[in-house]
Amino acid sequence: MYTQGLDQQGRPAAKPDALETAEQLAAFQQRVDAEEKIEAKDWMPEAYRRTLIRQMSQHAHSEIIGMQPEGNWLTRAPSLKRKAILLAKIQDEAGHGLYLYSAAETLGVSRDQMVADLLSGKAKYSSIFNYPTLTWADIGAIGWLVDGAAIMNQIPLCRCSYGPYARAMVRICKEESFHQRQGYDILVELCNGTKEQKAMAQDALDRWWWPSLMMFGPSDINSKHSAQSMAWKIKRFSNDELRQKFIDVTVPQAEFLGLRVPDDDLEHDAETGHYRHGEIDWQEFIDVLAGNGPCNQQRMAKRRKAHDDGAWVRDAASAYAAKQAARHAA
């Protein structure tokens, strides 16, 4: 993903860990603790840079792959209005991917390299996008739950210690909140419709609820990157804290729709004010991440084909840039 020396575009990459001194590390941590933003040209520990490259590129890949399950319904959206809204939403996701690739490039990794890592299977994207969209209600459930979970994860990232990431997240979060509302709006309509429409909404909630909870990542005890990311203020809340927030906000929204959350152990704890929830099937999460979800192969095959089909656009853009550069030089 990232090589020392120079990156693919000839920009200097970071120094190896061995050259980092205790003073440098302490000064860096002091800046982070003082809530100063770390910028692209500032010194940073190699592990901080690597963590951000991993997280930001995974985030970008998720935005790009995430267009597929919804793109599946573009031609079958039930009205012109719904189609226009869905199209705008999916285009926003493409934009999120592009901001995030650009923000990650400030860390010295090239977009070509990040894309190559996605296509080779080396880099991951969010497990949620390996589930199929079987009905129109799934588009509602994705907006409500998947974008809803993304907002919970991403609002704290607006205060991330790395400046380019934090700034990219501000606009992304505004757009995510439109996505969440468009999804919920689809479900409000279905739940106020016929018996069959309401059943379709319930079925979508049944299938998307647990995978949405898995979006927050493994439980705190099993999350290997969490503690260091918290110390570096890349992360502000633990996975379990964010998951709990999401459940607390979302269960009343399900009740408003007249839908049942598919968790027999779900219970409101009057003392803490939080919902207690049932056990998450982490084996399913691990299996999907390992490539064995219902749609992993299809998602990657489509992305590879889109990348190959787009080769002429990249060639044309490079040829144009070379021509412009030659004209400038002349």
Place of tokens 């031609």: 75
Supply the minimum distance, in Å, between the C-beta of residue 101 and Fe ion: 13
Q: Which is nearer to Fe ion, 108 or 183 (CB)?
A: 183
Give SS3 for 13: coil
Q: Which is nearer to Fe ion, 138 or 176 (CB)?
A: 176
Residues near Fe ion, by CB under 5 A: 63, 93, 96, 147, 176, 179
- SS3 track for 197-232: HHHHHHHHHHHHHHHHHHCCCCCHHHCCCHHHHHHC
Which two three-digit tokens encode residue 192? 């106020």
Q: Which is nearer to Fe ion, 38 or 128 (CB)?
A: 128
Supply the minimum distance, in Å, between the C-beta of residue 268 and Fe ion: 29
| Non-local CB neighbours of 227 within 8 Å, separated by 6+ positions | none
Q: Which is nearer to Fe ion, 31 or 245 (CB)?
A: 245
Q: Which is nearer to Fe ion, 157 or 201 (CB)?
A: 157
Backbone dihedral angles phi then psi of residue 6, each to the nearest 5 degrees = -115, 150
Identity at 103, one-letter amino acid code = A
Beta-strand runs (E) in the chain: 267-269, 274-276
Supply the minimum distance, in Å, between the C-beta of residue 89 and Fe ion: 7
Supply the minimum distance, in Å, between the C-beta of residue 96 and Fe ion: 4
d(CA 15, CA 109): 14
Identity at 197, one-letter amino acid code = Q
Supply the minimum distance, in Å, between the C-beta of residue 63 and Fe ion: 5
Supply the minimum distance, in Å, between the C-beta of residue 153 and Fe ion: 11
Q: Which is nearer to Fe ion, 145 or 214 (CB)?
A: 145
Give SS3 for 12: strand
Place of tokens 């607390």: 248
| Non-local CB neighbours of 136 within 8 Å, separated by 6+ positions | 73, 76, 77, 78, 186, 190, 200
Identity at 70, one-letter amino acid code = E
Q: Which is nearer to Fe ion, 126 or 135 (CB)?
A: 126
Supply the minimum distance, in Å, between the C-beta of residue 167 and Fe ion: 16
Q: Which is nearer to Fe ion, 178 or 210 (CB)?
A: 178
Supply the minimum distance, in Å, between the C-beta of residue 198 and Fe ion: 25
Buried b (16+ CB within 10 A) or exposed e, 106-125: bbbbbbebbbebbeeeebbb
Which two three-digit tokens encode residue 216? 């927050």
Query: 51, 44, 33, 29: which is closest to 223 by C-alpha?
Result: 51
Q: Which is nearer to Fe ion, 63 or 105 (CB)?
A: 63
Supply the minimum distance, in Å, between the C-beta of residue 150 and Fe ion: 6
d(CA 63, CA 7): 24
Backbone dihedral angles phi then psi of residue 159, each to the nearest 5 degrees = -105, 15
